[in-house]
């Protein structure tokens, strides 16, 4: 266990009892609400050795949790990691997973304060709990969308799915599309823009894109009791994503709608807030795009293409879809 702690940084002076006792103790920040999230990654379900290095696995595990904190408008603080290791994985490989996690933690000032390590017949399973903080009453929610709001998305979408396609089917081309490969193996959570949204006073709705735009838009529509209309041509796709889709004879918009793991934010904000958000994003060199609008009506998501509307399927990655 001690070998797994090499490279760990302590980013907070509020750790009262650090790793080494039965539990960690941290001092709560005054006048801050606690944000808590947990994500699990299972070998062959969430990652494959052929597509991700050990360090990539650790990085992405923390990023998936960071993205949840970002969607709530929070600041990440402390993490706990439980890992079940089969005999097919070597100690050096597990150490590399922790190194990747620490790299991501250092970039986001997160401190690992504990966890558990056990053996298992397989597969490799990692479960990370991440804590964060937000000002009381300021947490972003899916249920805040209102008719007249602008629907927006940060960054570009579909890149992670395109990167996965390359790694699975054309690994010899990964050097030609480094941004797509990085989008899948080393994604970045949008913590800074999430914090801006929480502190903006506009009470926007927000969700992170872990399962594709379609699924996340449906979550906002159902939580808010509204209709989201998204213009497909406005979805921000990279030239690289389109190029790989053409090579694969696939529709790149399908990767944007249903691919997932882009870890961008989709949200809604009233028109005057949108102008300020766009200006703030420009100042921080953050890409953010208006992709649609919120309308009154039964909760649903509609795709608008060339002026024509059609209902968008409520699907994304679902672990229990075939049960």
Q: Which parts are annotated binding residues for substrate?
A: 46, 261, 317
Q: Would you list which residues are annotated within the binding site? A: 22, 37, 39, 46, 68, 98, 115-116, 142, 208, 210-211, 261, 317
d(CA 126, CA 35): 20
Tokens of 269: 């904000």
d(CA 165, CA 255): 10
Tokens of 194: 């999430």
CB 32 within 8 A of CB 136: yes
- What 3-state class would DSSP assign to 34? strand
Q: Would you list which residues are annotated within the binding site for Mg(2+)? A: 22, 37, 39, 68, 116, 208, 211
The residue to which tokens 């694969």 are assigned: 248
DSSP, res 206: E
The residue to which tokens 């890409």 are assigned: 287
d(CA 64, CA 47): 13
Taking alpha carbons only, the member of 266, 190, 39 closest to residue 47 is 39
- DSSP-assigned letters across all residues of 234-261: GS---HHHHHHHHHHT--HHHHHHHT--
Q: Would you list which residues are annotated within the binding site for ATP? A: 98, 115-116, 142, 210
CB 112 within 8 A of CB 18: no
d(CA 142, CA 146): 11
């Amino acid at each position: 266990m001690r070998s797994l702690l090499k490279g760990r940084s302590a980013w907070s002076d509020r750790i009262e009892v650090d790793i080494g006792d039965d539990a960690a103790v941290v001092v709560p920040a005054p006048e801050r609400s606690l944000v808590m999230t947990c994500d699990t990654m299972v070998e062959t379900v969430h990652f494959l050795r052929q597509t991700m290095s050990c360090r990539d696995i650790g990085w992405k595990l923390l990023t998936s949790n960071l993205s949840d904190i970002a969607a709530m408008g929070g600041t990440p603080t402390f993490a706990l990691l439980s890992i079940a290791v089969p005999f097919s994985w070597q100690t050096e490989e597990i150490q590399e997973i922790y190194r990747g996690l620490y790299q991501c933690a250092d970039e986001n000032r997160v401190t690992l304060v504990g966890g558990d390590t056990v053996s298992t017949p397989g597969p490799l399973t990692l479960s990370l709990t991440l804590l964060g903080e937000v000002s009381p009453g300021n947490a972003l929610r899916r249920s805040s969308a209102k008719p007249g709001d602008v629907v927006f998305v940060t960054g570009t979408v579909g890149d992670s799915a395109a990167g996965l396609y390359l790694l699975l089917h054309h690994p010899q081309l990964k050097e030609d599309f480094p941004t797509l490969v990085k989008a899948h193996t080393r994604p970045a959570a949008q913590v800074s823009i999430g914090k801006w949204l929480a502190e903006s006073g506009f009470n926007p709705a927000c969700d992170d894109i872990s399962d594709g735009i379609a699924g996340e838009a449906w979550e906002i529509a159902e939580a808010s009791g509204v209709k989201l209309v998204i213009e497909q041509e406005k979805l921000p796709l990279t030239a690289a994503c389109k190029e790989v889709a053409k090579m694969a004879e696939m529709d790149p918009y399908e990767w944007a709608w249903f691919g997932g793991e882009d870890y961008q934010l989709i949200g809604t904000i009233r028109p005057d807030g949108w102008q300020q958000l766009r200006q703030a994003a420009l100042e921080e060199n953050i890409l953010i795009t208006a992709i649609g609008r919120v309308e009154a009506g039964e909760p649903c998501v509609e795709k608008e293409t060339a002026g024509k509307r059609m209902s968008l399927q409520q699907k994304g990655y679902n672990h229990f879809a075939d049960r």
